[in-house]
């Protein structure tokens, strides 16, 4: 595998916009116009499309969004792994099939909401669903909109 590194002489003045030169002074990172091949190599496109502010891209409602760190392996079939950073939006109405953060008797869990069966369902067959009974206090804290994985 070949890895091309940017030359040491590469700088912001060399073609990538200054991240603090946007109207609202929010930092952003360069966004390349071409996609990166994860299979066979393809000719590289050196064109920088512009910048991307990851916070603006991932957080649709800043006042109602929080971040949480995933723990465990019960959500692996939904692509959520131990240590992932979850983006959670409290402004969304949770519906069946959504991945949610729920507080059950004060303990936070990340599961798939199943309203028709009154359950929180894991995305790993090794774990049982959590039945929401009348005695348990359950509060849906928000809907998980993104999982960010560290490699």
Say which of 9, 22, 60, 74 is annotated catalytic: 74
Concerning whether 95 is annotated as a catalytic residue, the answer is: no
Say which of 60, 111, 116, 126 is annotated catalytic: 111
Tell me if 101 sits within 8 A of 144, measured CB to CB. yes
Tell me if 30 sits within 8 A of 51, measured CB to CB. yes
Tokens standing for 110? 């990340």
SS3 of 51-104: the string is: EECHHHHHCCCHHHEEEEECCCCCCHHHCCCCCCEEEEECCCCCCCCCEEEEEE
Alpha-carbon span 116 to 46, nearest angstrom: 51
Concerning whether 34 is annotated as a catalytic residue, the answer is: no
Alpha-carbon span 102 to 94, nearest angstrom: 10
Give the CA angle between residues 55, 6, 43 to the nearest 5°. 90
Give the catalytic positions in this structure. Answer: 74, 111
């Amino acid at each position: 595998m070949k890895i091309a590194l940017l030359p040491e002489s590469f700088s912001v003045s060399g073609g990538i916009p200054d991240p603090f030169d946007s109207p609202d002074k929010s930092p952003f990172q360069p966004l390349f116009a071409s996609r990166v091949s994860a299979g066979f190599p393809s000719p590289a496109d050196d064109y920088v499309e512009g910048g991307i502010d990851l916070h603006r891209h991932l957080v649709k409602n800043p006042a109602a969004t929080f971040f949480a760190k995933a723990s465990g392996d019960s959500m692996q079939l939904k692509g959520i792994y131990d240590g992932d950073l979850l983006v959670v939006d409290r402004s969304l109405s949770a519906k069946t099939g959504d991945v949610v953060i729920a507080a059950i008797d004060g303990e936070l869990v990340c599961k798939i909401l199943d309203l028709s069966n009154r359950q929180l369902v894991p995305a790993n067959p090794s774990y049982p669903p959590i039945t929401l009974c009348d005695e348990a206090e359950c509060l849906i804290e928000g809907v998980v909109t993104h999982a960010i994985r560290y490699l």
